[in-house]
Amino acid sequence: MDRSKLFSKVAWIGVWANGALSTAKVLVGLLFNSSAVLADGVDTGTDVFTSLVTLVSGKISSRPPDKTHPYGHERAEAIAAKIVSFIVFYAGVSLLFASVKKIILHEHVQIQGVLPFLVTILSIAIKSWLFFYKYRVGKRLNSSVMIADALNMRNDILISGTVLLGVMLSKFGLFWMDSVAALVVSIMIIRTAFNIFRETSYELMDGMHDMEIYQEIFDAVESVKGVRNPHKVRVRQVGYKYFVDIDIEVDPSLTVQVGHDIATQVKQAIIARNDRIADVLVHVEPAGNVEQEPFGLDQEKMNSLNK
């Protein structure tokens, strides 16, 4: 199955699973007067929107490069993940205010029946499966929005666990624990939103978490004869792809054609090292050229980072 089809399949599974769970939890929360279960249901409802955002971004990111987007459309996923963070944040803040209001006004009720307990256990089971499934596929596709959605599922497991604890304690007469559990859930939701926002900002600002890619580049360049002092190496992530800029030095007596051929070999060697590298821009300089270049990495800087 190709990337776009697998992306759509996983997103639709998220839409239907979260939609069914959200409906069940909201209804149970309303019928049994459980603020915690209702809060969990609203949070799961936001997961439906995040899955839809994931679906749309996957279709956009799979489009090929064009004249207005020469690097492709893959960053649509990072933008989508940013949208997801805002949706999650809004849900968390809304639930926070509602929970605090109930605690201050002592609006506590006794929860009857076993259905709130059962629907929460079901939620934990389904969310656990969704987390492992989406995270595995997200890593396979190197998709920031899919991984963000998976991490949101992981936090939902903790949220449902907190709700389960609140429901159980309210059964033993601690009625206020349901509202406290809802408050804890809202804080967890807000924390998830901040984490997603922070992680996607890294990609949108050309940050790099995976520094091993630089060592792969230096190892690849070392395999090409005639290359000296690879430096000013910069890697930026665009969706699941990497774009590399690198300066190399060659014998100044070589012809332009030979220098070009060496640069081509460097490009091919780097791309062969990592299938996520989409393109490499190689700048050729005469050996011994000394410039004050504040940007990028060389082997010496790379070694200092690893210490």
Distance CA 80, CA 148 (A): 10
What does the pLDDT look like over 67-87, one tens digit per residue?
888 888 888 878 888 887 887
What average pLDDT score do residues 32-59 get?
A: 79
pLDDT at 181 (0 to 100): 74
Amino acid at 25: K
Superfamily of the domain at 3-204 = Cation efflux protein transmembrane domain (1.20.1510.10)
pLDDT at 305 (0 to 100): 66
Confidence of residue 254 (pLDDT cuts 50, 70, 90): very high
- Higher-confidence residue of 88 and 119: namely 119
Residue ranges of domains in the chain: 3-204, 212-306
Distance CA 93, CA 302 (A): 42
- Is residue 281 within 8 Å of residue 245, measured between CB atoms? yes
- Is residue 77 within 8 Å of residue 58, measured between CB atoms? yes
What does the pLDDT look like over 170-180, one tens digit per residue?
767 776 776 77
Is domain 212-306 classified as CATH 3.30.70.1350? yes
What average pLDDT score do residues 5-30 get?
A: 88
Cα 87 vs. chain centroid, distance in angstroms? 15
Is the pLDDT at 112 greater than 70, yes or no?
A: no
Helices 35-61 and 176-204 meet at what angle, rounded to 10?
20
Lowest-pLDDT choice from 28-37, 103-112, 187-196, 255-264: 103-112
3-state class (DSSP) for residue 104: helix
Is the pLDDT at 135 greater than 80, yes or no?
A: yes
